[in-house]
Amino acid sequence: MHKFVFYTIIVLNWFFISCSTAQQKSTMQKNPYYSRTDERKLKVSNEEWRHILSKEMYDVARLAHTEYAFTGKYWKQDIKGTYYCAVCGNPLFNATAKFASACGWPSFFETIKEHSVQYKPDHSYGMDRIEVLCGRCDSHLGHIFDDGPAPTHKRFCMNSIVLDFEAEK
């Protein structure tokens, strides 16, 4: 019985991740703001984002929801490449800054550029945290903590659904 439950959970996770990946690709195709080269700050209303993004991506990016731990497609990934904001295409992290934190979300110790992200105090759920937002479109990416590896000792704990990845060629 335990094996059946275990395999059912694995199959369901695979199914939901596959659906999420397909939705994310479809979202990028209809998103007029997605660019990996344009660095201009975006001023787009949440109402407009609601029409562009999938419901799952909108909930995380614009409403600061969090995907369940150990379910995102990048939490275990170990491939050389670059992580971008899935909402606007802004370059965020190099895979060389990714590390296995065992927290269940993709974790990085530094951003690609100083202004790739911005920070905002987050006092939700009775906690004192620092929210990490995309430096171009202000989308919620995750949170930053002071328990990462050297040299920065930072842990950028990000949601996979708001990340887009391109493998190094």
Q: Which residues are catalytic?
A: 157
What is the distance of C-alpha 25 from the center of its chain? 14
Residue 92 CA to residue 99 CA, distance in Å, equals 15
Answer whether the bond into residue 91 is a cis peptide, omega within 30°: no
Residue 136 CA to residue 117 CA, distance in Å, equals 8
How many of the other CB atoms lie within 10 Å of CB of 130? 13
Burial class (CB in 10 A: 0-12, 13-18, 19+), 137: buried
Q: Is 68 helix (H, G, I), strand (E, B) or coil?
A: coil
Query: Which stretches within 31-113 are classed as H helix?
Result: 46-52, 55-61
